[in-house]
Amino acid sequence: MPVLRLLPCAGCLLHTTCDRARLFRSRPGLRSRPPGPGTPGSAAVAVRASGIALGNTAPGPYAGTAMNDFPGAPATPRDGTRLRVLAAMSGGVDSAVAAARAAEAGHDVTGVHLALSANPKSFRTGARGCCTIEDSHDARRAADVIGIPFYVWDLAERFREDVVEDFVAEYAAGRTPNPCLRCNEKIKFAALLDKALALGFDAVCTGHYATVVVKDDGSRELHRASDAAKDQSYVLGVLDERQLAHAMFPLGDTLTTKDEIRAEAERRGLAVASKPDSHDICFIADGDTQGFLAKHLGTAEGDIVDESGARLGSHEGAYGFTIGQRKGLRIGHPAPDGKPRYVLDISPVDNTVTVGPQEALDVTALTAIRPRWCGTPPAGPGTYTAQLRAHGGETEVRAEPVESPDGSGLHVTFTEPVRGVAPGQAVVLYDGTRVVGSATIATTERARPAEARPA
């Protein structure tokens, strides 16, 4: 019989409402190593028979100067030499090297793997998906090599509510969400960070490629990674000043290729050195987003029409399309000019998908909602660059905070028209390399208005 071992979550340790402590079917060697005297990281969680010694809980932004171990490490609030760091370890090479660097810099590091699936698969499928039992094994082995305590925390229910259900609801509403931003906002730097601070940790460390710069007055700014090719500041643009005060990105100032990161992992004896990076959406391991949505939303046949409203074909669910999509339209005959057609609009109200020529995708401005600022919000209009996709380029814009039906908003005007902008995506503003903030795109203004449909 396989052994069931209870791996403690922060809620259990605090004797508060628990997120359901994770039960993992342990394979040989899958064990949480409680820190003991002399164990690296033993200060992170001191477990006693009478309860938990937590130290000061929920510390605020730290005073003093930043450590020089790597840019943006939070200043030391207690003994002046070490931080109590919770390293989020996905089971991949980046998070393992980040944890190793934090420990090597002298910090008191504890590793944690987030169980984000209620029914995790045993193994990954190549580079697709994550959060499998295999990933937890890999994270645990990396922690053993680094010499730090390791735990598995169950955040599956929170992940389902805040990320997966939000993803499905956004597609059902005709929008195109980015679940990685939502995960950073709601899981890694909210649920995880809150638990970490409650347990007396000072910072959460991840393997993201971004840089936190500490200014003379102690405030923090989020900047692009030194290596623009690996920069991940776009998906971190949802972090506010409080979250940045407790964020640690040891890889952010690394002017190295991914091969060099893997070589470093190999030198450190980390078995994940050759493990493929995960791609696509982590909770859709097979990469079939349309199939995943169909399973949750069902099929609903509707029309594919052109700009005039003429019916060109049918579909089995408007959620299966995104603005700017060209392939997979299944239109039986070509356009009169013989040019390809692209998805211009998705209307969940009448379940209609509108297609047209590529030039009809040109967007000159947009309105975004729910802005989140990485520091002090701008007081008025300003000129910035904007990024609209995780791996997209920058474009010059003029942005201005405005009021929206949902509260505060943002109006962005592009210097030159851009294409493929979809409601639901995030627009992230930059001032040079500094991340100013982000917001969710609500509406767009087209350079070429759609033709009026017949009544």
Judge if 223 and 320 occupy the same domain.
no
Does residue 283 fall inside a structural domain? no
Strands 150-154 and 108-115: parallel
pLDDT tens profile 4-34: 333 443 333 332 233 333 323 222 333 333 3
**pTM of model > 0.75:** yes
Judge if 401 and 434 occupy the same domain.
yes
Pairwise CA distance, residues 16 & 167, whole Å = 29
- pLDDT recorded at residue 66: 30
The full 3-state SS of 259-303, as one line of letters, equals HHHHHHHHHCCCHHHHCCCCECCCCCCCCCHHHHHHHHHCCCCEE
Judge if 321 and 342 occupy the same domain.
yes
- pLDDT recorded at residue 121: 58
- pLDDT recorded at residue 162: 95
Given a contact cutoff of 8 angstroms between Cβ atoms, the answer to whether 88 and 112 are in contact is yes
If we measure between CA atoms, which residue out of 234, 241, 217, 209 comes closest to residue 373?
241
Does residue 389 fall inside a structural domain? yes
- pLDDT recorded at residue 452: 44
> What CATH number corresponds to the domain at position 164?
3.40.50.620
Given a contact cutoff of 8 angstroms between Cβ atoms, the answer to whether 152 and 34 are in contact is no
Report the amino acid identity of residue 279.
H
Does residue 279 fall inside a structural domain? no
> What CATH number corresponds to the domain at position 378?
2.40.30.10
Report the amino acid identity of residue 439.
A
Structural domain that includes position 353: 299-359
Q: How far is CA 107 from CA 10, 81, 99, 212, 360, in A?
A: 20, 8, 10, 17, 54
Does residue 291 fall inside a structural domain? no
Judge if 14 and 148 occupy the same domain.
yes
Does residue 326 fall inside a structural domain? yes
Which strands sit side by side in the sheet containing 203-205, from one edge to the other? 150-154, 108-115, 84-88, 203-205, 247-248
Pairwise CA distance, residues 12 & 20, whole Å = 8
Judge if 118 and 200 occupy the same domain.
yes
Question: Which element (helix H / strand E) includes 232?
Answer: none
Judge if 304 and 165 occupy the same domain.
no
- pLDDT recorded at residue 279: 67
Half-sphere exposure of 98 (CA within 13 A, CB side): 33
Query: Which 3 state secondary structure label does DSSP give 169?
Result: helix
Judge if 321 and 439 occupy the same domain.
no
Given a contact cutoff of 8 angstroms between Cβ atoms, the answer to whether 452 and 307 are in contact is no
If we measure between CA atoms, which residue out of 345, 11, 6, 372 comes closest to residue 196?
11
- Catalytic center residues: 183, 282
Given a contact cutoff of 8 angstroms between Cβ atoms, the answer to whether 42 and 35 are in contact is yes
φ and ψ at 339, to 5 degrees?
A: -85, 160
pLDDT tens profile 97-135: 999 999 999 999 999 999 998 766 544 454 445 678 889
Query: Which 3 state secondary structure label does DSSP give 78?
Result: coil
The low-confidence residues of the chain, meaning pLDDT below 50, are: 1-68, 75-79, 122-124, 126-128, 452-455
Judge if 335 and 432 occupy the same domain.
no
Pairwise CA distance, residues 167 & 156, whole Å = 15
Overall domain count for the chain: 3
> What CATH number corresponds to the domain at position 335?
2.30.30.280
End-to-end CA distance of the chain: 68
Judge if 116 and 181 occupy the same domain.
yes
Given a contact cutoff of 8 angstroms between Cβ atoms, the answer to whether 107 and 82 are in contact is yes
Pairwise CA distance, residues 361 & 364, whole Å = 10
Judge if 197 and 124 occupy the same domain.
yes
φ and ψ at 341, to 5 degrees?
A: -105, 155
Judge if 334 and 268 occupy the same domain.
no
> Domain end: 359, 391, 409, which one?
359
